[in-house]
Amino acid sequence: MPSEKILEQKKAMVADLADKFSRAASGVLVKYEGITVDDDTKMRAELRGAGVEYTVIKNTLIGLACDKVGFEDMKQNLEGMNAVAISYEDPIAPAKILKKYAEKIETFEIRAGFLDGAVVNASVVDELAEIPPKEVLIGKILGSVQGPLYSLAYGLQAIIDKNGEGDAAAEAAAE
């Protein structure tokens, strides 16, 4: 039987993880198997650079944290070794980075995730990973707004030019 000190540490870990889950914009649960030390080091550096917390945690602790925040649906994926990636700012970053490694490493797979307080399955996490970066989306929106404005400006200029030619022809005829 574990000592009282160990139980208190585990309770604190569960409370901390539940707090992280509740504050996060998104999170991804991955099967943490078959990844080399080199790939793991690169992946963790990429995740840190994107502001994502990544931790390998025991399934029982993840399950207890899920119970605390209402993510019971995620518990069905807690088999084998698992890791959790949590992002507080960019909801797409963990999905994007982890999908790249899941495609490269056969045994490393995305199992589930959560977004805006709701559990999502692996296919939704994959769809999130396919979303272009924020800058690209902003560029597309601006481009779609600018197109009609340019057309309007060219149309108005054509009317002005046509009326200007008509005025010049009338002046020439009057002289």
Residue 20 has pLDDT above 90, yes or no: yes
CA 104 to chain centre: 19
Fold of 4-131: Alpha-Beta Plaits (3.30.70)
pLDDT the model gives residue 166: 52
pLDDT the model gives residue 158: 85
Q: What residues does each domain of the chain span?
A: 4-131, 132-175
pLDDT the model gives residue 69: 93
Q: Are 62 and 29 in contact (CB under 8 A)?
A: yes
Residue with tokens 């009282």: 4
Q: Taking residues 15-28, what's their average pLDDT?
A: 94
- How much is the pTM? 0.74
Instruction: State the average pLDDT for the chain.
Output: 88
Note the residue count of the chain.
175
